[in-house]
Structure 1
Amino acid sequence: MAAIPGLNSLIPLSSKPCRTRTPLFPSLPSTTSLCFFTAKPTSSLSSKISTFSWKLGGAVSAVVSQESVTGSSSSGTDVFKLTYLEGNSWLWEVGGLKILVDPILVGNLDFGIPWLYDAAKKFLKNFQLSDLPEIDCLLITQSLDDHCHLKTLKPLSKKYPNLRVLATPNAKELLDPLFSNITYLEPGQSSVIEGSNGSKVKVQATAGPVLGPPWQRPENGYLVTSPLDQLTLYYEPHCVYNKNFLEKERADIVITPVIKQLLPNFTLVSGQDDAVQLAKLLNAKFIVPMKNGDLDSKGLLASVIQAEGTIESFKELLSKELPDAQVLEPTPGVPVEIQAP
């Protein structure tokens, strides 16, 4: 019996033999041998969740199994691999496609006014653009710096000049000078990403928060559907959603903040019961909580932001409303793998 961070309190683990793994990030050695563990859900769900980690010089890096590197098993089962890169940043792999989400990989997050707010990552301090695998699509949810980070996007556009980009139209002025292959999605609109292996992933925009006057266009959340239509993932990084828009939708996986971030008389990021109601609305089987406020921050704004709630208090609330759902806490840099039944 061994422990996997964030999972051992939820589900019993069974060990499997060590196998050779290929690092997700090419700056690491080409192969390494390590033991991994497959989690067995206690509910009736038969989905498999696996996490892999490898430590090099104290830094955690992600690795994936060679036999499932395409994001689908040999039996034709869809798999999502979700690697949290801290803040609002993610690397998702599904159907052989790698999707980079709201990346902050170059410099700090400071909105151009570091005296007011300046934040650095706590764990993936040395992660660089060169550590990324080949990317198939860039997904941008919002137009502000904590999602559309120009310090990262400018060098990213030089590395991948023809990169497919899906984004909120609110980011048009920022993205148009950098990328040429952009599709701007209004809430309700969708687009299909096609990989070199022929697999297709559907991405549909949903309505997120309004960052300005009430008449302004909302920012985006997204529903991402796997190639065989076996899994759907929902992502919106502020836990702000339009209930009427989502009530006809379903998502097996919900990625959302669960700890609120508050300013005096203003909610920056929601969570807790709002996250529970979101999971219930979408009939989620798995909730992957993101800690987008868990950064090394300084500045005037950082000193007045308050957190409300914990992951444990969220789990308690969730158990009363959606008792069969599982909470999978990601470790930065380590993929959480969710396989369809």
Structure 2
Amino acid sequence: MLLTYLDSNSWLIEIGGQRILLDPWLVDTLTFANQDWFFKGYRTQDHPIPENIDLILLSQGLEDHAHPPTLKQLDHNIPVVASPNAAKVVQQLGYTQITVLTHGETFTLNTSVEIKAFPGSPIGPTLVENGYLLKELASNLTIYYEPHGYHSPSLKAVAPIDVVITPLVDLTLPIVGSFIRGGKNALELAQWLQPQVMLPTAAGGDVKFTGFLTKFLQTKGNIEEFRSLLAKNNLSTQVIEAKSGDRIELQLQKKGVGV
């Protein structure tokens, strides 16, 4: 199993002989509703578009997960698995193979990788986006991904999970509180799932942010503090902090039974 970190929430997952591009923001700037004055993300250099992608996997329809400039550059014939909200984005861009996953539904990629959708981040009063469990069918190795730190208790039924990609520190705003939830939420998830490895997402990589909103953003906690939390709770989970462009080969202990 190989994971390449492409900044923010973007990952290339190589599992079961498949190359899955997750929540890609690889080119251009990141804004919400084209409001640069409010919030703008940028990098000094775009990431090259990865080759030989077997699947694009989208957890949310917001621009930092379904990034229109990146999706415009990707081959529109690549199959897409998406939350209902993210599916609307790729439908409007003309993608030809779109599978919508609602919570509890599964998709199997080329008889090699099973993808199951779980309840993820709430967006507004009624919409709940997706977290995903990926399982390599040949080995039963599993990865769970949720980019904002909202974890459904239904995950307990599929524990243990080998690899978890989720925020490990909090990002907060006045009045709103933590909108990216790491810390105690990530610790609780580790207690539920007993992962071999956890990797932080959402706040890292070679990106910078400007705009009105950034004046109020605050980070609570850090990776070393989270490692200490794991140790204090007698959890042997390894935390790997990937740098931009890192391609990490995970050495995992294989399980004898499926999830």
* The two structures share one fold, judged by TM-score above 0.5: yes
Percent sequence identity over aligned pairs: 36
Give me the whole-angstrom Cα distance separating, in 2, the residues matched to 1:180 and 1:133: 18
Give yes or no for the alignment of 1:180 onto 2:96.
yes
Find the counterpart in structure 1 of residue 183 from structure 2. Answer: 272
Deviation at 1:161, TM superposition (A): 2.7
Give me the whole-angstrom Cα distance separating, in 2, the residues matched to 1:322 and 1:200: 34
Deviation at 1:322, TM superposition (A): 4.2
Deviation at 1:291, TM superposition (A): 4.9
Structure richer in helix, relative to its length: 2
Deviation at 1:229, TM superposition (A): 3.5
Deviation at 1:293, TM superposition (A): 5.4
**Among 9, 28, 31, which residue is 1:107 paired with?**
28
- Structure number, greater radius of gyration: 1
Q: TM-score, normalised by structure 1?
A: 0.70
**Among 191, 194, 199, which residue is 1:283 paired with?**
194
The amino acid of 1:326's aligned partner reads Q
- Kept in 2, the 8 Å contact 1:255–1:289? The answer is yes
Alignment of 1:58-77 (within 5 A): none
Find the counterpart in structure 2 of residue 204 from structure 1. Answer: 116
Find the counterpart in structure 1 of residue 10 from structure 2. Answer: 89
Q: 1:234 to 1:126 in 2, by over 3 A?
A: same
When the two chains are superposed, the root-mean-square deviation of aligned CA atoms in Å is 1.5
Give me the whole-angstrom Cα distance separating, in 2, the residues matched to 1:115 and 1:85: 25
What are the Cα deviations for residues 120-174 of structure 1, in whole angstroms up to 9, with x where unaligned? 136xx24232xx1210000000110010111111121xxx232110000012321
The amino acid of 2:163's aligned partner reads I
**Among 19, 31, 39, which residue is 1:117 paired with?**
39
Give me the whole-angstrom Cα distance separating, in 1, the residues matched to 2:204 and 2:35: 18
**Among 154, 162, 172, which residue is 1:252 paired with?**
162
Q: TM-score, normalised by structure 2?
A: 0.91
Find the counterpart in structure 1 of residue 256 from structure 2. Answer: none
Q: What secondary structure, in the 3-state scheme, does the structure 2 residue paired with 1:219 have?
A: strand
Between the two proteins, the alignment pairs up a number of residues equal to 248
The amino acid of 1:94's aligned partner reads I
Q: What secondary structure, in the 3-state scheme, does the structure 1 residue paired with 2:127 have?
A: coil
- Kept in 2, the 8 Å contact 1:84–1:333? The answer is yes
Structure 1, unaligned stretches of length 5 or more? 1-79
Find the counterpart in structure 1 of residue 47 from structure 2. Answer: 127
Q: What secondary structure, in the 3-state scheme, does the structure 2 residue paired with 1:83 have?
A: strand
The amino acid of 2:95's aligned partner reads F
- Kept in 1, the 8 Å contact 2:116–2:134? The answer is yes
Give me the whole-angstrom Cα distance separating, in 1, the residues matched to 2:114 and 2:173: 36
Find the counterpart in structure 1 of residue 257 from structure 2. Answer: none
